[in-house]
Structure 1
Amino acid sequence: MALSDYLGVVRRRWIIVVATAVACLALAAAYAASVPTTYAATSRLFVSMATGTSVNDSYQGGLASQLRITSYPYVATGPTVAERVIQRLGLDISPAELQSRIATSFPPATTLLDISVTDSTPEGARVLANTVADEFAQLVGEMETTVNGAAPAARATVIDQARTPTAPSGPNTKRLLALGLIIGLGLGLLIAFLRDRLDRTIRTSEQLARAISVPVVATLSSRDPNATKDIGRLRAQIAAARGDHDRLIVMLTSFTETSSPYVAVCLANALADTGARVALIDADTSEDGVSAMLDMQSYPGVAESLRGEHPDLSELPRSASGVSVVPVGSVDVRTADLLTSARFAEVLHGIGDGFDYVLVAVAPVLVDAAALSLSTRCDTSVAVVELGTTPSPRVQAASEALASSGSALMGAVAVAQEPRSRFQRPTKSSQPNPDPVPDPDPEPEADPEPEADPDLAASP
């Protein structure tokens, strides 16, 4: 994976990364709050050997002190010193507990020994550190005395008494928070990458091309100002499919769970821009099709004509924009079956005689089975796949369903972002040639069957 691929994963899964980092940061803060506050005080001792008055004797004594001091930390933190301190101060704790609070260190190549002791109060830490240092020094004197009444061979002298600490030594809240944040970010990135690897959602046109056996003829983005170029490439593909034929009937269906009227509307306008006569038929029974996008739900159309409640649709006047739109009309339980009947096939081919291109927008292929029957009555089909929301198994299932029905699937159109509002019409500032017809003026309430308006071509 390239760096851009990793950045893409972070952009897609940033919520996981942020949530995991915040959770780990909160756990670190909770742990820091649960750890009791402690204070540390340190006493320093000097270890010396009994030597002669010559320089050589002093040198040999210094070397002996450095050798001995490596063993003294075990004495200072041992149970003997702890028991003496407890007995001297009258503490109500065990020697093992006091031992766990004593720490020692010595700088290399020196005979200095530092004894640090922690306690819950500053004064308690100071008293314990000084007492431990005194008892340790006394124990060293006893250990290094080989003959009763003689001077010890080595001694430990307190040179710096412990002072009352002014700030707590623990917990280190900043360090814990920083550690929690680092662990959270690392864990969040790991989860994000694993989630992305296991996610079968199609996010790029390359993934879409691998998921289906037909080519991706265009990649559209409603946020891309160059979307008109992509529409132009799709138009060129449609024009090439028409060839020398008088007209071409194209079915557009979605492989996602929701309809994608945006592609049908943009394609109709692009074809009309070349001077072609274009009819856009909304045969989408999902209530999210072209009629909803253009706010034409109240106009009679395909459903009424198939039920015999409206005149034949074979004669459609052209609108001012060059696209004649047939709304779906009032959909009922019979509409889906009527769309698969021979009657609609006759209407479809009757309309096609007066236009160069007839675009039929239908419901998603896996939502309404009418798309499978309609595809066989059209010259070719175009699948619309919304990137970022459609899983690969669904696309493959829809493609196999169309292939088994015997339809001719020309290719797929990848849509990076689909307008979601059912009643919001796209504007020219955000969509390429979005409006195939002017805003329809509603007919009066008293007229149950409004007459056709040749400027709108919304219904015959």
Structure 2
Amino acid sequence: MTLLELIELLKKRLGLVIALPLIFALAMGAYSFLLMKNTYTASTSMYVLVKGGSESSSTLASDLSASQMVTNDVANLLSSDRVTNEAAGELGLSSLKDYKVSVTSETTSRVVTLEVTSTDADGAARVANSIADNVSAIAQQVMNIQSVNVIDQAQTPTQPSGPNRVLYVAVAFLAGLFVAVALVVLADMLNTKIRSQEELEELLGVPVIGRIPVSSGRRN
């Protein structure tokens, strides 16, 4: 099937091609706006101070390189079960399964950023601060860390960070368009009706030498 044939086929089923994407988009819009809860992200940043580190200009580059692996270890430690369980216990929670914890660290810096996402804005900030408070003591016990100093305390977010409802609706619209095109093409493939002289000649392998017109009148 060529592109022109596909376009002509879609024109014949234009109603389906338009209606199905709109139905998908409206359904996703209703679901995302009515049933999906807003999520909030609280973030805090920390500075990893390594034992024996020097901040002189002559050794700063080598210190940063040597301590980067330790900083990455701290980033992993922030989302470990030990740290999250202690933070949950401190806040009186059984676990942090309702909170999404993500950690990022720069490749040329000792700064680690912790983000906690939840449907509870105040809870996200409290969990982020609790994890940041607990990680320093644990890091000192298991690593060559002098301290993990909090740069910015997490504040309660006032604006939701998700869900991205517009993106969901757009994806649903495209999915509906894909399904509509697939249905039109499938229906055409399953349709065995001969619709033109060319199809008949291709099917029988012989040329058409004549036609009998269809007459709707009756002869007396």
In 2, Cα distance between equivalents of 1:138 and 1:215: 94
How many Å apart are 1:198 and its aligned residue?
A: 1.6
Partner of 1:350: none
Q: Secondary structure at the match of 2:46?
A: strand
- Opposite residue 6 of structure 1, the aligned amino acid is L
- The structure-2 alpha-carbon separation of the partners of 1:13 and 1:56, relative to structure 1 and needing over 3 Å to count, comes to same
Partner of 2:122: 123
- Opposite residue 175 of structure 1, the aligned amino acid is L
In 1, Cα distance between equivalents of 2:210 and 2:47: 82
- The structure-2 alpha-carbon separation of the partners of 1:110 and 1:54, relative to structure 1 and needing over 3 Å to count, comes to closer
Partner of 1:196: 188
In 1, Cα distance between equivalents of 2:59 and 2:85: 36
Contact 1:21 1:184 in 2 (8 A): yes
In 2, Cα distance between equivalents of 1:130 and 1:182: 40
Structure 2 portions without partners, runs of 5+: none
What are the superposed Cα offsets for residues 381-437 of structure 1, whole Å, 9 maximum, x if unpaired? xxxxxxxxxxxxxxxxxxxxxxxxxxxxxxxxxxxxxxxxxxxxxxxxxxxxxxxxx
Structure 1 portions without partners, runs of 5+: 146-152, 218-250, 262-281, 284-301, 303-460
Partner of 2:111: 112
- The structure-2 alpha-carbon separation of the partners of 1:109 and 1:52, relative to structure 1 and needing over 3 Å to count, comes to closer
Partner of 2:82: 80
How many Å apart are 1:11 and its aligned residue?
A: 0.8
How many Å apart are 1:130 and its aligned residue?
A: 1.6
- The structure-2 alpha-carbon separation of the partners of 1:8 and 1:54, relative to structure 1 and needing over 3 Å to count, comes to closer
Contact 2:88 2:127 in 1 (8 A): no
What are the superposed Cα offsets for residues 78-114 of structure 1, whole Å, 9 maximum, x if unpaired? 11111221222212x325x15x521111233222211
In 2, Cα distance between equivalents of 1:163 and 1:78: 22
Partner of 2:38: 37
- Opposite residue 170 of structure 1, the aligned amino acid is G
Normalised by the length of structure 1, the TM-score is 0.42
- The structure-2 alpha-carbon separation of the partners of 1:201 and 1:53, relative to structure 1 and needing over 3 Å to count, comes to closer
Q: Secondary structure at the match of 1:201?
A: coil
How many Å apart are 1:52 and its aligned residue?
A: 4.2
The two structures, once aligned, show a CA RMSD in angstroms of 2.7
- The structure-2 alpha-carbon separation of the partners of 1:17 and 1:108, relative to structure 1 and needing over 3 Å to count, comes to farther
In 2, Cα distance between equivalents of 1:198 and 1:53: 74
How many Å apart are 1:180 and its aligned residue?
A: 0.8
Partner of 2:158: 166
Partner of 2:28: 28
- Opposite residue 150 of structure 2, the aligned amino acid is V
In 2, Cα distance between equivalents of 1:36 and 1:53: 46
How many Å apart are 1:209 and its aligned residue?
A: 5.2
- Opposite residue 123 of structure 2, the aligned amino acid is G
In 2, Cα distance between equivalents of 1:108 and 1:58: 14
In 1, Cα distance between equivalents of 2:54 and 2:121: 42
Contact 1:48 1:62 in 2 (8 A): no
Contact 1:49 1:62 in 2 (8 A): no
Percentage of matched positions with identical amino acids: 25
Partner of 2:47: 46
In 1, Cα distance between equivalents of 2:76 and 2:155: 23
**Structure index of larger Rg:** 1
Query: Where does 1:339-350 land on structure 2 (aligned, <5 Å)?
Result: none
- Opposite residue 191 of structure 1, the aligned amino acid is L
In 2, Cα distance between equivalents of 1:216 and 1:4: 29
1:179 aligns with 2:171: yes
In 1, Cα distance between equivalents of 2:22 and 2:15: 10
1:133 aligns with 2:135: no
Partner of 2:6: 6
Partner of 2:214: 253
- Opposite residue 84 of structure 1, the aligned amino acid is E
In 2, Cα distance between equivalents of 1:105 and 1:216: 76
- The structure-2 alpha-carbon separation of the partners of 1:214 and 1:204, relative to structure 1 and needing over 3 Å to count, comes to closer
- Opposite residue 180 of structure 1, the aligned amino acid is A
In 2, Cα distance between equivalents of 1:118 and 1:16: 40
Normalised by the length of structure 2, the TM-score is 0.83
- The structure-2 alpha-carbon separation of the partners of 1:216 and 1:140, relative to structure 1 and needing over 3 Å to count, comes to farther
In 1, Cα distance between equivalents of 2:182 and 2:172: 15
Q: Secondary structure at the match of 2:137?
A: helix
Select the structure with the greater relative contact order (CA < 8 A; seq sep ≥ 6). Answer: 2
Partner of 1:368: none
In 1, Cα distance between equivalents of 2:195 and 2:36: 46
